[in-house]
Structure 1
Amino acid sequence: MPALPRRIRKVGAPIGVLILLGLVTGLIVIGLTALNPVGTAVGFVLSTVAIAVVVLAYVWLDRWEPEPPRLLVLAFLWGASVAVIVSMILSLWLEALIAPAAGGSESPSFVSVAIIAPVIEEAAKGLFLLIMLTGRRRNEMNSLTDCLVYAGLTAAGFAWLEDILYIGGGETLGDSLLTAAMRLIMAPFAHPLFTTMLGIGVYFAMQRRNPLAKVAFIALGYAGAVLMHGLWNGSSLVGPGAYFGVYLLWMVPIFVLVIGLGMHGRRREQRVVAGKLPGMVAAGLVTPSEATWLGSIRNRKLAITEVRTHHGKPAAKQVKAFAAQVVELAFVRDRIDRGFGDDRVQALLTEEAYWVHAARAGAPTLQWLATYRIPG
């Protein structure tokens, strides 16, 4: 199978789209800088530092079956460009419709913040997850961890630019720093946490064959995201007591539960791969010695480290690519074993098996690893 055609087919996010979204994001930041240089600079630096922690947390969670970097970047840029722009346009339009009917009262402010904003923003962010379920991109959505990572990074991109907008909107440096403290110290994970609800709904939808059941789970996930977002936004208008109460009694416990769910999802990924390795050994795709380190993220890391130490970075990269390809094959096999093996998935199984062979041919140090005892 030629490398170039497959490389083209595997690029679910064309480079042109990444460049376009990056350009849109850059233009927004440049425009804000022109309006308020000091506030935007403060917002850019502080927001980038805070969101970098969020992004690194999701990259760490994604270590077992790493997603294609182009799709992770696309998720972040979608949140930082398309989702923000669509949310702003629709919010302004709906507020303009509601304002005359409200007769100039304060109610439109609460409605716009606690209802309109959550409904629109979660839809704009969640649309990326629905796009991921189409075409060849759906092959990348294999597990709960995948859904959590894509949802979290999309929301992180949204939060990054939104925080710059709010912090840069301060009239003075003091206002900008106060806004930064409220938004970045207390809730850098807020938007990812909201959109995680939809990510969970998408995951359960992927496990169903009935179209109505799929729609129902996605709708429930979206409703959960809107509810959490609405409570958080609404509490900020009620007063400091409500704001901190929702944060401590609602946001923090759910955040802890989501962390536990993410760890459970990653452990399940490891069990899936470990469970499929005996079949790969029987099929001659993996040797028994390779199965001893491919089934554990710790042993896999040790094996790659030893290859890097003795043979250099290029050799380690080849072994890492082989391990990643084995993981991809394991998840396709698991999809078939769970009863989702249509013609498309069967063809994908054959393709992934071919690419395990190709990855092995491109990693000659695997033979050295077979005779080397990995420490620990």
Structure 2
Amino acid sequence: MKKGRNELLLEEEKILAPYAVNSRNSGGRAYPEPEHPYRLPFQRDKDRIIHSHAFKRLEYKTQVFVYSEGDHFRNRLTHTLEVAGISKTISKVLGLNEDLSESIALAHDLGHSPFGHAGQEALASLMKDKGGFEHNKQSLRVVQKLERRYPDFPGLNLCEETLLGIMKHGGGYEPSNLLEVRRAKGPSLEAMIVDTSDEITYSAHDLEDGLESGLLRLEDVKGLSIWKRIQDSLPKLEQNPNAETHSISRSIGRVLLNLMVSDLIDSIHETITKQKVISRESISELYEKKIKLVQFSEEFQKEFHELKNFLFQFLYRHSEVSRMSERGKEIIHLLFKHFENHPESIPESYRNREEEDGRMRIICDYIAGMTDRYAIEKLKREGIFWFPY
């Protein structure tokens, strides 16, 4: 049986909860396009994101460890795929729109600079008083303007709901109709789930990578309150004196991930029931009242907060990570100053926007889109400065 658009819409409506975003009532696209005969709008958004240049570049952008540190540590692409997987799982269990959650998750880091948060800090400093830089805002800029895959419009022309989901926290964006909608309606439940899935993913997997790299010690992890939950679910692997470090760390990461996702699903379901959420409008009303729908149970939230503080203190501020971060910042500063003085080194596709956006912004766009390895290679090619990374 061949299913057309109407059949697919009816199937979707049968499985979606009344508070989910459904494809039939999507807010449409900024540039009207005919609907596809057998692909629903958020499916199309997902594919457009995956085929974008910005998405492909995520593979060589830093999560915590730069690409040269090893092939098995997370990068920005693997992190993004993990966030998408978790978002889709939670959305499926709660009767939400999986395609929308997945699309938002796949796009959420498209605007991230090279060298992780160190790169963001460098660009934010360089762009201070020049419009600033923040990777969530840059992700929206990428999908609305910077991607150039289609002749009839700039960006990817994603659905309104996908764009609203990318607008994390809804603040600090340029005035627009989209911003007014975000402020009036608040985020969808699908978007809220992506935000928390992001935190879940990097907390579990940064812990795993930290242990595997040797920058974190298992003895210290065992001092966390959440360790009791992990230990109760952990196979006897960690008690085996012959077990390899990476086997133990991966088991801990897997167990921790499952614990966080399970607690979050139960907590969201409990809150939805307690608050009598029966429609998308119900979610907007709760958002306006500052009642959180997506959060862990009270006890688990305390343990999760302790885990995040632990990672911040012992991994993100580790001398080795700091060394990599400082080198990344230095590379970005060197490139930025070079392009200020030598705009002819900027690709023509960026220079064409200088009159519209200004030189500082096009330099920022160019550097933010670079991968770690391209930024390093650019230093060499421009003869600016070089040291082994």
Structure 1 length normalisation: TM-score?
A: 0.35
* Bigger CA radius of gyration: 1
**Larger relative contact order (CA 8 Å, sep ≥ 6):** 2
Structure 2 length normalisation: TM-score?
A: 0.34
- Bigger share in helix: 1
